[in-house]
Structure 1
Amino acid sequence: MGQNEVTYKECSWITCIADDASFIRVFIMNHSMRLVMFNEFCPLKLLQVADTRFASVVIMLKRLKLIKRCLQVMAISEQWASYREDDVGKAQKVKEMILSDLWWDKVDYILEFTAPIYDMIRVADTEKPCLHLVYEMWDSMIEKVKVAIYRHEGLEDDKYSSFWSVVYDILIDRWTKNCTPLHCLTHSLNPRYYSTEWLLENSKRIPPHRDHEISMERSKCLDRFFEDVNELNVVKSECAAFSGGRFPPPAVLTDRWVLQPLRNWSTYKFIHSLKRNKMTPARAEDLVYVHSNLRLLSRHNVEYINRDTKMWDIAGDS
């Protein structure tokens, strides 16, 4: 069986639950009388989130979970049973899903094992410097996802879970695609990861300088750093000021690399706004790519270096 077939077999149920949730929302929103009933029983609104928005399925499921009791009271009410003007078959299907404990258990499970992923991305989707936190956040997130899945399946840590294996491969593929030597370097420069308090939180943790992968990637990043002639001249002067060592002290590198925010999500939000939300995912990704690279290229222009325009992106897209 191919990898795609295995992934589909293990994860297709998540798509089914997401489709069911969308079916419930569309049925209520597209039938005026059902919407009137919903508004009578629930003070909150059903959220309609475009697929290209951040974590659209998770946000939709969170809202359904929040209004679960209101939906169930509405489904067993006399108003719901007595109204026969719309599609009765669809109304019965919606009622069965709303009242199904098994269906809600699956919703809870999805929200449980995706919560660490959602929380990690939310932390990265800010204007504050967090590049030095990404490596550790990914490690912690993967461990939390595993704990949630194994707890739900009732397995010990050393047992095999086919679902976790597929989820793990997906997460590692994404991390491999996005991880750069800079993440490892900034991680190794963070004093927090050398502290006794942090190391004792988990017996599997080791300081960055003893981690072979981090050390190798950090060396790659430093090699690239010294390949740039302009940066090399700066580093030489800094090294001369600090007893002539080959590398500048960690504080200097920290100022250069650690204090950098991750702005990709913020750029995406700037391009794909609530008012401009009908773009396809491919078009939105192309615009994010062009926008980010134009901003980087502009820093080499004479106007950017010598004029007031050099301050235009100091606060990000906002």
Structure 2
Amino acid sequence: MAASVGGAMFLKAAEASGNIKDVDYVANLFKPVIQEVGSQNIIQVITNNGSNFKVAGGIIESIYPHIFWTPCVVHCLNLALKSIYEPSKNSPQFAECKWIADLVSSVQNIRNFIVNHSMVLSIFNTYSKLGLLRVAETRFALNIIMAKRMREVNDALEKMVMDSSWRMHLKWDGKSAIEIKVREVKISIVNDSWWADLEYLLDFTESIVEFLRLANTDALVLHLIYDMWDTMIEKVKSRIFGHEKQDLLTGQCNFFDVIHNILETRWNKSNNPLHCMAHSLVPKYYTEGWIGGGNDGVSRLSPHEDQEVFLNRNKCFKRLFSNQDDLQKVYIEYGAFSSGSGGDKFDIDGNTLGELVELSINEPELELMTFDEEFEESTTLGTEQPEEFQQGMMD
């Protein structure tokens, strides 16, 4: 798929089911498409985060220095969520996140038990107008979506297990495996602590899911990505510290340290110079209101005072402007813009900075996007499913 400020369009698909999707194969899929579109019209190539795609993206960057390989932000967020609610036993976060893994497993068991037993489902439907979602495995944040639906039907679930038909119609003998499952389901549903844990999970992951939703659209958000990561992490901290009754400035929380490390690791893997440059070209991020915290209370640094943004912005400028005279003009114009002395026209010898960089103030003129099917069934230049198509547009 190719996307620009004018929208997205399908370019081509590749049948890859009989091929090994190694680095060379992936890179050789990119090259002819880049030549067909015109390398001068492309700013970035977006893929998922597989190691083969990362190396292939590096090959493209070495051939075309002005084209950036960008890992899919939505995919990064989904992997971060998965690390939180499905931690491996050998992972450093397992001890702190085990309660989440147990909770998510319980949510899945309750949902599966109800929908797989017609009599139980009939009792549930008596009290609820909402169904229990069947979330596709490829859907982002699927376990969070399922947990949220559980909260929405809390009252119906409690009435279901208290209904006289709960036992009368099912005729439990007290010894079978299904009886054990029934008891487990009922114990969870009538347990206030279980619901409190569910509420806590949904509360501190809310900003992560919200970021994922904003990024997983066809809206132009490249210029917002850097700030959305920072804001999301600060909101997660606020929710966790509030729950643990810790002071935001002086408090310590091992659980947050683990969650922060997961999110920061994913951010470091997905952040690239293009995000920082786009962030630097948004006038709002230089205003006193935004720097002071605005509506969300998160204090920030302006782009020209942030060291990480500074370093990556310079990397981006150098790759986009190989001519030293043009590069010097860009530095001058950016300095005038960031100090507020240059207005908002970026006039350089009759051309705007946006024209020279081939970027608008917010977005690349054209992005080339490619995705690898999550379960390695096939590879396409574009998307495998209509739902998955939207993940690429977030960048």
TM range (shorter): 0.7 to 0.9
User: Within 2, Cα distance between the matches of 1:243 and 1:78?
Assistant: 78
User: Within 2, Cα distance between the matches of 1:31 and 1:254?
Assistant: 58
- State the match for 2:261 in structure 1: 169
| 1:18 equivalent in alignment to 2:110 | no
Moved more, 117-126 or 4-13: 4-13
The answer (yes or no) to whether the contact 1:182–1:218 under 8 Å persists in 2 is yes
Alignment match of 1:224 (pick from 315, 319, 325): 319
The answer (yes or no) to whether the contact 2:215–2:221 under 8 Å persists in 1 is yes
What SS is found at the alignment partner of 2:375?
helix
| 1:29 equivalent in alignment to 2:121 | no
Q: Which amino acid aligns with 1:104?
A: W
- State the match for 1:119 in structure 2: 210
The answer (yes or no) to whether the contact 2:285–2:302 under 8 Å persists in 1 is yes
Question: Aligned-pair RMSD on alpha carbons?
Answer: 3.4
- Structure 2 residues without counterparts, runs of 5 or longer: 1-88, 173-177, 331-345, 384-391
User: Within 1, Cα distance between the matches of 2:319 and 2:129?
Assistant: 56
Q: CA offset at residue 117 of structure 1?
A: 0.3
- State the match for 1:207 in structure 2: 302
Alignment match of 2:376 (pick from 283, 287, 290): 283
- State the match for 1:310 in structure 2: none
Distance change (3 Å), C-alpha of 1:250 and 1:197 = farther
The answer (yes or no) to whether the contact 1:127–1:262 under 8 Å persists in 2 is no
What SS is found at the alignment partner of 1:210?
coil
User: Within 2, Cα distance between the matches of 1:203 and 1:77?
Assistant: 47
User: Within 1, Cα distance between the matches of 2:366 and 2:149?
Assistant: 28
User: Within 2, Cα distance between the matches of 1:101 and 1:267?
Assistant: 46
What SS is found at the alignment partner of 1:129?
coil
Moved more, 33-42 or 219-228: 219-228
What SS is found at the alignment partner of 2:304?
helix
| 1:78 equivalent in alignment to 2:171 | no
- State the match for 1:65 in structure 2: 151
The answer (yes or no) to whether the contact 2:359–2:365 under 8 Å persists in 1 is no
Alignment match of 2:187 (pick from 69, 80, 96): 96
The answer (yes or no) to whether the contact 2:222–2:363 under 8 Å persists in 1 is yes
User: Within 2, Cα distance between the matches of 1:262 and 1:151?
Assistant: 43
User: Within 2, Cα distance between the matches of 1:5 and 1:267?
Assistant: 30
Q: Deviations over 1:155-181 (max 9, x none)?
A: 112222111111001001110111110
* Larger relative helix fraction: 1
Q: Which amino acid aligns with 2:381?
A: H
Question: Identity of aligned pairs, percent?
Answer: 36
Distance change (3 Å), C-alpha of 1:263 and 1:127 = farther
Q: Deviations over 1:113-142 (max 9, x none)?
A: 100000011111111111000101110000
What SS is found at the alignment partner of 1:128?
coil
- State the match for 2:127 in structure 1: 41
Distance change (3 Å), C-alpha of 1:254 and 1:61 = farther
Distance change (3 Å), C-alpha of 1:192 and 1:97 = same
What SS is found at the alignment partner of 1:258?
coil
The answer (yes or no) to whether the contact 1:208–1:214 under 8 Å persists in 2 is yes
- State the match for 2:45 in structure 1: none
Q: Which amino acid aligns with 1:222?
A: F
Q: Which amino acid aligns with 1:117?
A: I
- State the match for 1:308 in structure 2: none
Q: CA offset at residue 19 of structure 1?
A: 0.6
The answer (yes or no) to whether the contact 1:132–1:190 under 8 Å persists in 2 is yes
Alignment match of 1:259 (pick from 349, 363, 368): 363
| 1:142 equivalent in alignment to 2:233 | yes
Structure with larger RCO (C-alpha < 8 A, sep 6+): 2
Moved more, 62-71 or 200-209: 200-209
Distance change (3 Å), C-alpha of 1:263 and 1:40 = farther
Q: CA offset at residue 6 of structure 1?
A: 3.1
Q: Which amino acid aligns with 1:60?
A: M
User: Within 2, Cα distance between the matches of 1:50 and 1:257?
Assistant: 37
Alignment match of 1:249 (pick from 353, 357, 362): 353
Q: Which amino acid aligns with 1:191?
A: P
- Structure 1 residues without counterparts, runs of 5 or longer: 236-240, 273-280, 294-314
The answer (yes or no) to whether the contact 2:320–2:357 under 8 Å persists in 1 is no
- State the match for 1:197 in structure 2: 289
Normalised to the residue count of structure 2, the TM-score between the two structures is 0.62
Q: Which amino acid aligns with 2:362?
A: V
The answer (yes or no) to whether the contact 1:184–1:217 under 8 Å persists in 2 is yes
The answer (yes or no) to whether the contact 2:358–2:365 under 8 Å persists in 1 is no
Q: Number of aligned residue pairs: give it.
A: 272
Distance change (3 Å), C-alpha of 1:122 and 1:187 = same
The answer (yes or no) to whether the contact 1:125–1:262 under 8 Å persists in 2 is no
Q: Which amino acid aligns with 2:130?
A: L
Normalised to the residue count of structure 1, the TM-score between the two structures is 0.76
User: Within 2, Cα distance between the matches of 1:283 and 1:95?
Assistant: 39
